[in-house]
A and B are shown apart, each in its own frame.
Chain A
Amino acid sequence: SAVISQKPSRDICQRGTSLTIQCQVDSQVTMMFWYRQQPGQSLTLIATANQGSEATYESGFVIDKFPISRPNLTFSTLTVSNMSPEDSSIYLCSVVRDTGNEQFFGPGTRLTVL
C-alpha cells in the first residue's frame, strides 16, 4: 500500500481567490492523479500529474484553471484558480506505485467556496 497525505484537509475560501492543495506520498510512485468529487456525485478525473513535465488534462479541465505541479516522485500540487461556488468539491489525489497495479487514494481536501 501507500500512505498518502493531503493538505489542507478542508478549507473555506472566497470566490475569486486560489487555493493550492498538496499531496505527499511516503515512497516513490510512478503515477499520480487528481480527481474531483462534487457534492453527491461520483469521482471525475481532472488530470494526470507528470513528473518533470506538464500535466495531462481530461476533457473539460484546463491548465489555467487547475495548474498542477509534480517536481518529484513523491509530491504533487493542484491549484484551484479564480474559484467560484461551483468549485466546491472534494479534491483527491491518487497514486500508482507500479504501472498496472492498484491505485491508492488520499483522504481528500474538502473545499467550500463562498
Chain B
Amino acid sequence: DAKTTQPPSMDCAEGRAANLPCNHSTISGNEYVYWYRQIHSQGPQYIIHGLKNNETNEMASLIITEDRKSSTLILPHATLRDTAVYYCIVRAFYNTDKLIFGTGTRLQVFP
C-alpha cells in the first residue's frame, strides 16, 4: 500500500471549516483513500473513503485531486468535539482489509 504524508498538527477555530491535507504521491490505480480519526483514549473511528471522485457524508467531505496524488478532508463546521488525530490511509480494495496507520494530523479546534 502507498505511503501517506500529513502535517503533524493543525489548529482550527470552532465553526470554521477544517481542511486536512494528505499527500499520497505513489498511489496506484486500485488504491482507495481512507480517513479515520482517533479522539483521545478511544478507538479510531471511520470517517470517509474514496477512489477518485469527491465524496461527502454526514461527517465530512473528501476532495481527491485529479492526479490522485493528494487529497483533503474537509470538516465543514468544526466543533470542539472534532479535536482528534486524523489518519489518512491508502489501501487497495482487494487487499486483506488491514489498515496501515501513519503518524496522522493532530487537529486542535479552539473556541
A105→B101 CA distance, assembly (Å): 13
Q: Is the CB of B98 within 8 A of A107?
A: no
A residues in contact with B45, CB < 8 Å: 105
Q: How many A-B residue pairs have CB under 8 A?
A: 49
A42→B49 CA distance, assembly (Å): 20
Number of B residues whose C-beta is below 8 Å from A? Answer: 20
A13 CB within 8 Å of chain B: no
A78→B46 CA distance, assembly (Å): 23
B residues in contact with A107, CB < 8 Å: 42-43
Q: Is the CB of B103 within 8 A of A42?
A: yes
Interface residue from A30, A100, A105 paired with B43 (Cβ < 8 Å): A105
A48 CB within 8 Å of chain B: yes
Q: Is the CB of A43 within 8 A of B46?
A: no
Write the A38-82 contact mask toward B (1 if CB under 8 angstroms, else 0): 000011110010000000000000000000000000000000000
- The interface residues of chain A, by DSSP majority, are classed as strand
A103 CB within 8 Å of chain B: yes
A22 CB within 8 Å of chain B: no
Residues on B facing A (Cβ under 8 Å): 34, 38, 41-46, 49, 87, 93, 96-104
